[in-house]
Amino acid sequence: MQKYNGKSVFGGIAIGKTLIFRKNENQVRRKHITNTEAEILRVDEAREKAKEELQELYEKAVIEVGEQNAMIFEVHQMMLDDQDYVDSVIHMIKTEEINAEFAVASAGDNFAEMFASMDDEYMKERAADVKDISNRLIKILQGNSDSGIQSEVPYILVADDLAPSETLQLDKSKVLAFVTRKGSTNSHTAILARMMNIPALIGVNYDESCDGKDAIVDGYEGALVIEPTIEILDSMKEKQQEDHYKKKLQLELKGKDNVTLDGKRIDIYANIGSVSDVAAVLQNDAGGIGLFRSEFLYLEKHTFPTEEEQFQTYKAVLENMAGKKVIIRTLDIGADKQVDYFGLEKEENPAMGYRAIRICLNQPDIFRTQLRAIYRASVYGTVAIMYPMIISVDEVKQIKEIVQSIKDELTSQGIPFHDVEQGVMIETPAAVMISDLLAEEVDFFSIGTNDLTQYTLAIDRQNPKLDPIYNAHHPAVLRMIRMVVENGHKGGCWVGICGELGADTTLIEEFINMGLDEVSVSPNLVLSVRDKVRNTNLSDPTFHSKKSREVY
């Protein structure tokens, strides 16, 4: 048995035989030519043919993975017209009197190396795109065609790397999973793989001898196991059966509305911490992202993330969500989430200390950088912003002034942006008690039940000694939620819950009865909450209205 570790792009279990995909490297030899104009004409014709092929791939991708994720093939078409790239090819043909194939290969290598050497992760990933379009041109110039992978039986695809076009052309009915040595979790190939629901690993330094052998891909643990033992195989089969059950539930509930038997509706969104989590959001058919914990961008770095880094992250999430709402919570550092480079002083009670919006308003440069990134990304989807740890109307008014100055700044710089819904998190008893006033200032409320319960009950939720008396169902907490819903609706706000209580299926009936508009839960809980909603009937006389009256 051999085990190779990598990084998971998409979860799941696959069991089958491996098939190593070895690319046609389009061996190119340098040749001296005398008619340079004829070679340039060959390049122009190959570019037109390549754009036709990419248009066909785009149309196929729109059907299979949606318009936003198919855009890579439009980008590749535009790259074929990039003047710097084209000029480089033509210049080499004219000055060195070399054949078109060799000029394209050389230009492709040069531009790919240039992109790969950049500090920006997004630009580094463009190196693979340049190689992809160059290989396509060379293939056309040599008169070769896409052969794809031919196999009569399902297989685990193992490759050094996969270009987006190669990924899309796979026969999905035959591919059990894919494993690559190269690639990144934010690459176009990774995005397509998630959309195709194929378990996938990257960064796996496999041995070529694994070709054709029995194997397991564990997309949860990020492992490729070659020739597994009987015990491991049996264990993985059990895990796979659990997956099959979940997928069956998905097939039954995907695309279904979140409506009770008596016609009441509630939106079910998902909580995420990074771009890679979007795969689970889409797989579980969430209506949107109700909480994007943006602080993970800061927690994963050793210095403040730049505006461009944040912009690329938000843009990637919005593009993947293809128009579904994404609610980004602004920086919520402090309390149990400490970052060394912020230089925060040690506090006796950090949960009630210098954290979240307090940091943002006290250090506006950090806040403005994040807001600019969000507004710049807003043109790529539907985004909303919510601000954590609000305790006063004055805080909201300060935020609105900063937001307006950001919008004025972007307008003066000619940078496009869309209108963005503004919301606040209701996490403190203070915010609950002034929720009628806050509703006049914002578009929505999102109730953070974890902190709200902690502050309401005066119980540190990080203290295990207090677990026996930590009660998220406490009447005080439930009354506060009802108050927020009522005040929000009176003021024209929609109201959701993004804390753990939103996934408590024993309270779904209560929340719907309160008039709650949305719950946002872990992606893997979306369908179980949907199942509970669809089997709820508030008009049923057995509904526990007596309990509701007692609590409220």
Q: Is 498 a catalytic residue?
A: yes
Which helix (H) or strand (E) segment is 327 a member of? Answer: strand 325-329
Q: Describe the strand order of the beta sheet including 7-10 as a list of residue ranges.
A: 2-5, 223-226, 214-218, 13-21, 155-159, 175-180, 200-202, 7-10
- What DSSP string runs through 7-65? EEEE--EEEEEEEEE----------B-S-HHHHHHHHHHHHHHHHHHHHHHHHHHHHHH
Q: Whole-angstrom distance between the N-terminal and C-terminal Cα of the chain? A: 60
Q: Are 199 and 154 in contact (CB under 8 A)?
A: no
Catalytic choice (188, 210, 360, 493): 188
Q: Are 245 and 264 in contact (CB under 8 A)?
A: no
Q: Is 360 a catalytic residue?
A: no
C-alpha angle 472/450/333, rounded to 5°?
A: 165
Report residue 290 as tokens.
Answer: 């109700």
- What DSSP string runs through 274-299? SGGGHHHHHHTT-SSEEEEETHHHHH
Q: Are 141 and 104 in contact (CB under 8 A)?
A: yes
Catalytic choice (210, 360, 493, 498): 498
Helical ranges in 80-198 per DSSP H = 83-96, 100-116, 121-141, 164-168, 188-195
Q: Are 292 and 272 in contact (CB under 8 A)?
A: yes
Active-site amino acid positions:
188, 498
